[in-house]
């Protein structure tokens, strides 16, 4: 599929994240105005609340775009999703409808420079589940802690492993992240102590936005799960590795994960990613029938992790990988989540699990890049890192490469702040 031309000239660049082929959805605000729904086109944001108010677009009787989240629109269903995308494509296409391009006053009001806008969390996150579904990551971590012969648990090649996280601490890109406190127990100590995390890490993931739910007790197929997905974001599941090492057995991550998860501000729809579908990898064991995919369910999305320290003048890329490295697709994960009768809701967020490739420079976490802290990363500034230090800014980004265009996600970034001063625990 080639580049679709728009009369918004910045959308026709081969390097923009937001051509007409993309049309991702977000929530933005401008000075003195409330957050509302918009769509990215080139270096601009199209104000959907304004177009709805002027009658240029409509989804029915009640307005849905003057809200600071996309949940109400998602709840309208797939037909509404398709109609909006078709309408926006027509309004923004070169040679399309003149309802917007032919109205200079409306154009001036409804198109906002991205540089003049503040982005907000695009949905109300109803629930958050994180998976552990990247084989290279799971193998690397398992090798570090259990040895190469026991790297993958016996169930890993048969089942998408996951755990429930905290929706309350999912934040939008640009939100500063406070270093967490918790219990830590060094290998040489007999008992734990309490203090700031010393092994703070990123996890390079994709996030899935669930746009349609199922009833409690009613499982869904992989095909149905795929249709339930509204879109994708980039996700950083921040991790306190030393807190995690002490607490994760026998029930898994808790305080090590719940302090923050960051997502990129733009939801790239499943429709925009359709040309980039690809298959999951070959498997040693055939999956059980309920998990088998009837068509390609992964996507070819280039991903990147860069780090900027306070002492550096610019960020440095530490890792490049691709979403197609995942062992389980989002549709398989969603199917498995619901198969026992779990009710999935509009606004649920699923994390893919850390995405790593086979090579060292394709690893999606600092735990892997520094091999558990045993191989420090030397930066261009001369500084070294095993894990994140206060003042460091971690940025994740990604795009799918088309024929002369990109379908991009924008940045998923966060700066690390020092831990809070411990309170007086006797009060």
CB neighbours of residue 30 within 10 Å: 15
Runs of H (alpha helix) within 31-103: 48-53, 71-74, 78-92, 98-101
The token pair at 301 is 């999305």
The set of long-range contacts for 273-280, using a CB threshold of 8 Å and a minimum separation of 24, is 273/232, 273/299, 273/301, 273/400, 273/407, 275/1, 275/400, 275/402, 276/300, 276/301, 276/400, 276/402, 276/407, 278/324, 280/326, 280/327, 280/328, 280/329, 280/332
Q: Is it the case that residue 1 has pLDDT exceeding 90? A: no
Considering the chain, what is the average pLDDT of its residues?
97
Summarised one tens digit per residue, pLDDT across range 330-360 is 999 999 999 999 999 999 999 999 999 999 9
Interatomic CA distance for residues 269 and 231, integer angstroms? 4
Could you give the percent of the chain with pLDDT greater than 70? 100
Residues 204, 365: contact at Cβ < 8 Å?
A: yes
Summarised one tens digit per residue, pLDDT across range 71-121 is 999 999 999 999 999 999 999 999 999 999 999 999 999 999 999 999 999
Q: Is it the case that residue 249 has pLDDT exceeding 90? A: no
Query: Which pTM value belongs to this model?
Result: 0.97
Interatomic CA distance for residues 301 and 281, integer angstroms? 15
Interatomic CA distance for residues 90 and 88, integer angstroms? 5
Cross-strand pairs, 350: 129, 208
CATH number of the structural domain 9-120:
2.30.30.230
Interatomic CA distance for residues 6 and 235, integer angstroms? 29
Among this protein's residues, is 136 annotated catalytic?
no
* pLDDT value at residue 251: 87
Summarised one tens digit per residue, pLDDT across range 194-208 is 999 999 999 999 999
Fold topology of 128-417: Fumarylacetoacetate hydrolase; domain 2 (3.90.850)
- Interval 389-395 mean pLDDT: 98
Catalytic residue among 136, 137, 336, 337: 137
Domain residue extents for the chain = 9-120, 128-417
Report residue 61's pLDDT band, with 50, 70 and 90 as the boundaries.
confident
Interatomic CA distance for residues 112 and 117, integer angstroms? 7
Q: Is it the case that residue 19 has pLDDT exceeding 90? A: yes
């Amino acid at each position: 599929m080639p580049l679709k031309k728009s009369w918004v000239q910045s959308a026709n660049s081969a390097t923009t994240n937001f051509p007409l082929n993309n049309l991702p959805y977000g929530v933005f605000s401008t000075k003195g105005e409330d957050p509302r729904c918009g769509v990215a086109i080139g270096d601009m944001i199209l104000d959907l609340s304004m177009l709805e108010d002027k009658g240029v677009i409509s989804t029915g009787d009640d307005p849905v775009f003057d809200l600071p989240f996309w949940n109400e629109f998602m709840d309208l269903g797939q037909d509404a999703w398709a109609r909006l995308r078709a309408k926006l494509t027509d309004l923004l296409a070169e040679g399309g409808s003149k309802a917007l391009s032919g109205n200079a006053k409306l154009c001036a009001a409804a198109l906002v420079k991205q540089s003049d806008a503040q982005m907000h969390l695009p949905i109300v996150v109803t629930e958050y589940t994180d998976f552990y579904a990247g084989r290279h990551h799971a193998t690397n971590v398992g090798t570090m802690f259990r040895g190469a012969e026991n790297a993958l648990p016996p169930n890993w090649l048969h089942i998408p492993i996951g755990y429930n996280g905290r929706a309350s601490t999912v934040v939008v890109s640009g939100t500063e992240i406070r270093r967490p406190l918790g219990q830590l127990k060094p290998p040489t100590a007999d008992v734990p102590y309490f203090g700031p995390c010393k092994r703070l890490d990123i996890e390079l993931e994709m996030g899935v936005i669930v746009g349609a739910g199922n009833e409690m007790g009613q499982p869904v197929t992989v095909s149905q799960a795929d249709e339930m997905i509204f879109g994708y974001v980039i996700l950083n599941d921040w991790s306190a590795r030393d807190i995690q090492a002490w607490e994760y057995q026998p029930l898994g991550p808790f305080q090590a994960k719940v302090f923050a998860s960051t997502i990129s501000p733009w939801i790239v729809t499943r429709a925009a990613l359709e040309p980039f579908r690809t298959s999951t990898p070959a498997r040693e064991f055939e999956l059980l029938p309920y998990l088998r995919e009837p068509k390609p369910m992964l996507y070819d999305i280039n991903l990147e992790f860069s780090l900027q320290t306070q002492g550096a003048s610019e960020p440095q890329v530490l890792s490049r990988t691709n979403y197609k490295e995942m062992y389980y697709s989002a549709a398989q994960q969603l199917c498995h989540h619901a198969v026992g009768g779990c009710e999935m809701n509009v606004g649920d967020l699923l994390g893919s699990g850390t995405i790593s490739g086979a090579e060292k420079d394709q690893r999606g976490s600092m735990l892997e890049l520094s091999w558990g802290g045993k191989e420090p990363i030397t930066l261009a500034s001369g500084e070294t890192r095993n894990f994140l230090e206060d003042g460091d800014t971690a940025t994740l980004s990604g795009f799918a490469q088309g024929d002369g265009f990109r379908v991009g996600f924008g940045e998923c970034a966060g700066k690390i702040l020092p831990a809070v001063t411990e309170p007086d625990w006797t009060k």
